[in-house]
Amino acid sequence: MTDDKRGVSRPSASGKLSVLRQHPIFQDLDSEALDQLCRYAKPTSLKRGATIFSKGDQGNSLYIVISGTVKISVSSPDGRNAILNLISAGELFGEVALLDGGERTADATA
């Protein structure tokens, strides 16, 4: 991790590369393709409870957790929240809507 001008920790290029290289979707990519993918990756720090995406949003991004946890959940019509998954560091999420071109099927919260 490196600190930007505001003192916010951001994953280094080698940290992003390491996470991508370890995931089954990307492990067979050659080094040049992984490097190019890392150039497109935009590290973001979010506060606890921040919405990453909501059910029904267009699925145009893939997300990788570098640190912390992401809650994947859906809300029922009566307002109850069902947690479907907790995504930890080194895991990715959001790939289904990205690959099928559909909408997000759940909410993602930091």
Task: Provide the total of helices (H) and of strands (E) in the chain, helices listed first.
Answer: 3, 8
pLDDT at 83: 95
The stretches in the chain having pLDDT less than 70 are 1-15
- Which of 89, 90, 87 shows the shortest CA–CA distance to 109? 87
Residue count of the chain, please give it: 110
- Which of 94, 27, 18 shows the shortest CA–CA distance to 54? 94
Q: Which domains does the chain have, with CATH numbers?
A: 1-45 (no CATH), 46-110 (2.60.120.10)
Is residue 79 left, alpha or beta, with left meaning phi > 0 and alpha meaning psi from -120 to 50?
left
